[in-house]
Amino acid sequence: MTTIHNLGFPRIGAKRELKFALESYWKGETSRNELKSLGTTLRKHHWEAQSGLNLVPVGDFSFYDQVLDMSFTLGNLPERVRDFHGDALDNYFRVARGRSAQSAEEHAACCGGVAAGEMTKWFDTNYHYIVPEFNANTEFKLDTSRLLEHLAEARAQDVKAKPVIIGPVTYLALGKAKDDSDKLALLPRLLPVYAQLLEILAAQDIDWVQVDEPILVTELDNKWQEAFKTAYDYFKNVKVKLLLATYFGQLLENRELVASLPVAGLHIDAINGREDIQPLLNLLPAEKVLSLGVINGRNIWKTDINAVLDWVEPLAQQLGDRLWIAPSCSLLHVPVDLDSEQRLDGEVKSWLAFAMQKLDELKILAAALRNGRASVKQALDANQAAIEARGNSHRVNNPAVKAALGELNAALGQRKSPYAQRAPKQAASLKLPLYPTTTIGSFPQTPDIRQARSQFKAGTLDETGYKAAMQDEIARSVREQEALGLDVLVHGEAERNDMVEYFGEQLEGYAFSQYGWVQSYGSRCVKPPILFGDISRPRPMTVEWIKYAQSLTSKPMKGMLTGPVTILNWSFVRDDQPRSVSCYQLALAIRAEVLDLEKAGVHVIQIDEAALREGLPLRKSQWKEYLDWAVESFRITANGVEDETQIHTHMCYSEFNDIIASIADMDADVITIETSRSDMELLDAFDNFNYPNEIGPGVYDIHSPNIPSQEHIVQLMKKAAERIPAERLWVNPDCGLKTRQWTEAIPALTNMVAAAKTLRA
């Protein structure tokens, strides 16, 4: 009989209960016990939701992050928090968040502040984990308290528990050696602690433990491959069965390694790594369990269950009990329950499955495999009907968009003249000083703006009232910028709640959920819009606002758009065509906006590609293919303009070295980037690569309320001028100012403008 199981369940709660509970605890509004008991309640509900599965994950619930949980389980706390005497949960939050803004004053006396753990992206998802910290002296010491507590709760609820832990090699690989020592040297110290943990679980009568080793879908050198052998050889005799779980990609050259490890079972991502299955079947010893992740844990579309059965049924015949099925990865990366959606377009809704619905699909699959398709005919028919309706919907397929895509050609992405010829024309028409100053787009989002926007959405503020409120705000931004003496102005983005949602709402082919939240980090969630159909732009999206802003000033006004790659990377996207095709469609839609802005007399246009880097595949060998279509999409969007029109782009991250050639290839006239926190270090990339166009290296960190001094900014820009000729430098902050207060933005920008003047002198 085919076993069905789940790798992890979203912990944030269908209505983001965990988020609100955490935040009110952090503000001191609720007690620790209230928070802990909410955790218990959520776990209870989530296990109930997974009843009917043969094995249910335990240990996947987290108050902040599963990697940080593992660090605590292994006793690997950063030095700076070790002498803390309060409650363990509070210490856990100290590592996660450092001294939070809210509790800074209240707790300065008792527990003081510490530096928060560094956070980084979990593989290629939008989830961020707290990076484990190591040094040459790191020792580990097992702490099973959290895991055993959850297991006891699960047992009381009769849950068929399968504890979930992060495997030792992935744990080391994801961490950072603060002293640049060799992380792998810690493996011999780490393995006994893991073995001890596994024995304790065995003593709890646990049958299977899921050991997550997703690092296996990345390129591993010899040393790391050896580490896998050493580690799993060490666990060979433990009394629990290990299910080694990999996900998010293909095993490729790691297949043989994986098949040879002495574990009882292997889970692979059959969505992203379906090509691994056949070769693995040939390699896998006859007694091993193979768990196939056949339901996409990263996307929100219904599974085509018949199609899955078509290829899984023969495998079920072949493998018998050794075949397990599951979602491809933890369901952490999808929203909880589609049934919560009351306002979602009914047609689109009928094509979707969130975590709860994915578990239902799993059960249908299992029933069909165990008792034949006829036993679940109704459910299969309904699924089939939804899949067909989606495939045939005219809202998904727009012949005009398909035709336009057929006519894509390289000329669309080509400026009329090279930068060297455009630059003097732009200089002549824009008449900017040396070291021109600008900002990245948004100005503070005040409570008034948010209120106007939400009242308009709710229908309590009419269109005239809304427009007036936004225009007031634009006028204020322009006034402030003129008073500051900035050179290229922006309208301030008051009308935008989010840089992707704003455009998605105006494009055909997008839908929005009410509760489609996915955890991004800690208590923070994002609600990615759903790109379901061919993309078109029925009407201009930004032109009226920018034109109005331009009418208020004689200084150049910068039009502000989000680029196609960023829109794509921050959405749930179609699974029925390659990502590149959706991206090109977005490119054509935004290109039309660029050309409309130009026609309206806007001669500086910024196209943000904040998330370009996020789309990079996990394997370096696949980067080129992605960068090719991503860069081409940007070029199509931006490069249809006249020589005199200046194109800006913005990226908010600081790792450039490895992709700088592609970034140069975008051929934007000006790129603004985050650099202040790295002290312009990122400009190292420009030592070996002669970046041809203009650059605005951010001169202050907008994430912090601190006001940068004029001297500091001058110093940073001088550093930049050592690498890039002054004629090609701009002066601007690291990113948009929407999360700051006006009282912070004004003094900071005052110093920035003064610094530019000093530099010119």
The residues annotated with a catalytic role in the active site are 703
- Using CB under 6 A as the binding rule, the residues of this chain from 94 to 123 that contact ligand GLN are none
- Nearest in space to 17 (alpha carbons), one of 38, 40, 37: 38
Handedness of CA 493, 495, 499, 505 (dihedral sign): negative
Cα(503)–Cα(521) distance, integer angstroms = 24
Burial 114-139 (b: 16+ CB within 10 A, else e): bebbebeebbbbbbbbbbbbbeeebe
738 binds, among ligand GLN, Zn ion, none (CB under 5 to 8 A by kind): ligand GLN
Q: Which stretch binds ligand GLN (CB under 6 A): 30-38, 436-444, 522-530, 746-754?
A: 436-444
| Owner of token pair 């969630």 | 525
The nearest distance, CB 674 to Zn ion, in angstroms, is 6
**In the numeric block, which tokens belong to residue 388?**
């067909």
442 binds, among Zn ion, ligand GLN, none (CB under 5 to 8 A by kind): ligand GLN
| Per-residue DSSP letter, 166 | E
Task: Pick between residue 449 and residue 560 the one whose CB is nearest to ligand GLN.
Answer: 560
How many CA atoms are closer than 13 Å to the CA of 315, on its beta-carbon side? 22
Q: Which is nearer to ligand GLN, 125 or 442 (CB)?
A: 442
488 contributes a contact to ligand GLN by CB under 6 A: no
CA angle centred on 606, ends 466 and 713, rounded to 5°: 105
Q: By rule CB under 6 A, what count of residues binds ligand GLN?
A: 13
Q: Identify the helix (H) or strand (E) that includes residue 605.
A: strand 604-608
Pick from 167, 436, 441, 522 the residue near ligand GLN by CB under 6 A.
441
CB of residue 533 to Zn ion, shortest distance in Å: 29
Cβ-based nearer residue to Zn ion, 359 or 610: 610
Q: What sign does the CA torsion over 512, 516, 522, 524 have?
A: positive
Alpha carbons within 13 A on the beta-carbon side of 16: 18
Alpha helices in 284-344 (DSSP H): 305-319
Residue 650 sits in the site that holds ligand GLN (CB under 6 A):
yes
| Among 749, 750, 748, 740, residue whose Cα is nearest residue 101 | 740
Q: Mask 321-360, x = binds ligand GLN (CB under 6 A)?
A: ----------------------------------------
Query: Residue 558 CB, nearest distance to ligand GLN (Å)?
Result: 10
361 binds, among Zn ion, ligand GLN, none (CB under 5 to 8 A by kind): none
Part of the chain binding ligand GLN (CB under 6 A), chosen from 67-75, 437-445, 520-528, 719-727: 437-445
- Tell me if 671 contacts ligand GLN by CB under 6 A: no
Least CB distance to ligand GLN at residue 491 (A): 11
Closer to Zn ion at the Cβ: 143 or 694?
A: 694
- Interface of this chain with ligand GLN, residues 559 to 588, rule: CB under 6 A: 560
Tokens for 288? Answer: 């091993």
Query: Which is closer to ligand GLN, CB of 43 or CB of 650?
Result: 650
The residue with tokens 């269109």 is 463
Q: Minimum distance from CB of 739 to ligand GLN (Å)?
A: 9
Which CB, 426 or 562, lies closer to ligand GLN? Answer: 562
The sign of the CA dihedral 719, 725, 727, 733 is negative
β-strand partners of 289:
265
278/258 Cα distance (integer angstroms) = 14
Partner touching 16 among Zn ion, ligand GLN, none, CB below 5 to 8 Å by kind: none
499 contact choice in ligand GLN, Zn ion, none (CB below 5 to 8 Å, kind-dependent): ligand GLN
HSE-CB of 439 using CA atoms within 13 angstroms: 30
Q: Look-up: residue for tokens 């196209």?
A: 607
Please say which residue, 383 or 442, places its beta carbon nearer to ligand GLN: 442
CB of 730 to ligand GLN, least distance (A): 15
- Residue 459 host element (H or E): none
Exactly one of 596, 608, 643, 694 binds ligand GLN (CB under 6 A); that residue is: 608
| 647 scored as a contact of ligand GLN (CB under 6 A) | no
Cα 269 from Cα 733, distance rounded (Å): 41
- Distance separating alpha carbons of residues 344 and 357, to the nearest angstrom: 16
- Single out the residue of 154, 251, 652, 716 in contact with ligand GLN (rule: CB under 6 A): 652
> Which has the closest alpha carbon to 241: 278, 205, 191, 272?
205
At its nearest, how many Å lie between ligand GLN and the CB of residue 369?
45
Which of 555, 603, 738, 740 is in the footprint of ligand GLN by CB under 6 A?
A: 738
Among positions 610, 630, 748, 756, the unique one binding ligand GLN when judged by CB under 6 A: 610
- The region of 346-354, 377-385, 438-446, 519-527 touching ligand GLN under the rule CB under 6 A is 438-446
Which C-beta is closer to Zn ion: that of 49 or that of 610?
Answer: 610
Pairing outcome for strands 289-295 and 508-511: unpaired
Q: What residue number has its CB nearest to ligand GLN?
A: 736
d(CA 728, CA 691): 10
Residue closer to Zn ion, measured from CB, 588 or 659: 659
User: For residue 30, what are the CA distances in angstroms to 22, 27, 328, 443?
Assistant: 9, 8, 37, 33
When asked if residue 735 is in the footprint of ligand GLN (CB under 6 A), the reply is yes
Please give the backbone phi and psi of residue 92, each rounded to the nearest 5 degrees, phi first.
-60, -45
CB of 442 to ligand GLN, least distance (A): 3
Please say which residue, 590 or 735, places its beta carbon nearer to ligand GLN: 735
Residue by residue, DSSP assigns 516-550 as --EEEETTEEE---EEEEEEE-SS-SSHHHHHHHH
Select from 736, 753, 754, 759 the one that contacts ligand GLN (CB under 6 A).
736
Distance from C-alpha of 303 to C-alpha of 386, rounded to nearest angstrom: 10
Mask of contacts with ligand GLN, 693-722, x by CB under 6 A? ------------------------------
CA pair distance 166, 71, nearest whole angstrom: 10
> Do strands 530-536 and 508-511 pair parallel, antiparallel, or not at all (unpaired)?
antiparallel
The angle at the Cα of 266, spanning 263 to 268, to the nearest 5 degrees, equals 155
| Least gap, CB of 559 to ligand GLN (angstroms) | 11
From 499, 659, 673, 748, residue interacting with ligand GLN (rule: CB under 6 A): 499
Least distance (Å) between residue 530 CB and Zn ion: 24
Task: Report 14-33 residues binding ligand GLN (CB under 6 A).
Answer: none
In the structure encoding, which two tokens stand for residue 283, read together? 């390699």
Closest distance to ligand GLN from the beta carbon of 652 (Å): 4
Sole window of 41-49, 332-340, 389-397, 732-740 interacting with ligand GLN (rule: CB under 6 A)? 732-740
- Which listed residue (244, 316, 440, 589) binds ligand GLN by CB under 6 A? 440
Piece of 163-171, 216-224, 713-721, 731-739 that binds ligand GLN (CB under 6 A):
731-739
Nearer to ligand GLN, 501 or 608 (CB): 608
Give the residues lining the site for Zn ion (CB under 5 A): 610, 652, 735
**From residue 90, how far is each of 113, 119, 144, 200, 524 by CA, in Å?**
12, 18, 17, 26, 18
Nearer to Zn ion, 51 or 739 (CB): 739
Residue 250, both tokens: 């293909």
Rounded to 5 degrees, what angle do the CA atoms 469, 604, 542 make? 35
User: Using CA of residue 302, residue 304, residue 305, residue 311, what is the dihedral sign?
Assistant: negative
Nearer to Zn ion, 56 or 735 (CB): 735
Number of H helices, E strands in the chain: 28, 22
Which residues would be at the binding site for ligand GLN (CB under 6 A)?
440-442, 493, 499, 560, 608, 610, 650, 652, 735-736, 738
